[in-house]
Amino acid sequence: MENERSLANIGSEDGKESLQIVAKNLQTAIQTGTDVALQAVNFEIRRRPGLFGIMFPGKILRENEELTIQNMKDMYQIRQDLLKAWVNVQLELTKNEGQMIIKSKLQRYEGELSQQAMQIRTDLTEFSQRKISEMMDTFDRSTSTFAERIDRQTKDAEKYKDNAFLYEKLKKNLEKEAEMFFTTISELLDGFKEALNNKLNQN
């Protein structure tokens, strides 16, 4: 059920904090390729089962199952799955913030302006949904391309494992590229919030 899957309907600071914890630790897991950060993610999933549905829409977490690197198929699949989960969590946070922006606008309208408030809500919600849909298309393409590129570069780096200097240099380049990916996605999400604020100010 949708309202069980999404934390947006909870609307609590605790729910927002859970999403932020998951996003941060998913990013760390992607960058390090270890289970340490995923332990914090598993803790939040147990606390809030709806989180798993946000991370992996359409998938079901079986009883006593945990999210671990070892449970996944291979490093390429791991990165792609975790990247998509990270993007989904970031989108959920952004949707929540978008709802708060719309709510703050509607609080200015009372009494005789209630009809106007309903129209503003409709306009802003439609605008928000359209922008999020556009971002999701962009994120899907970006995530797949990034995962493929990182997988290829990781395999290339492994060929030079006997050359400590070159190997470390290549690994640092991979870390920089990953950081650039996360920064780019975050900037696009910030752009959505700015666009929604601008739209809000036009009403």
Question: Which residues, other chains included, contact 25 with Cβ-Cβ below 8 Å and sequence gap of 6+?
Answer: 37, 38, 40, 41
Tokens coding 172: 């640092």
Q: Output the pLDDT for position 42.
A: 85
Q: Output the pLDDT for position 1.
A: 39
Tokens coding 48: 């809030």
Any idea where the domains of the chain sit in the sequence?
A: 2-202
Judge whether 198 and 145 are in contact, CB under 8 Å.
Answer: no
For tokens 């960058």, name the residue.
31
User: Per residue of the chain (203 residues), what is the pLDDT tens digit?
Assistant: 333 444 444 346 667 888 899 999 988 888 877 778 888 888 888 888 788 888 888 777 666 666 665 554 455 567 778 888 899 898 888 888 888 888 777 776 655 556 777 777 788 888 888 888 888 888 888 888 888 888 888 888 888 888 888 888 888 888 888 888 888 888 888 888 888 888 877 76
pTM, entire model: 0.74
Q: How far apart are CA 142 and CA 139, in angstroms?
A: 5
Q: How far apart are CA 36 and CA 27, in angstroms?
A: 12
Q: How far apart are CA 95 and CA 112, in angstroms?
A: 29
Of 123, 118, 53, 131, nearest in space to 88 by CA: 53
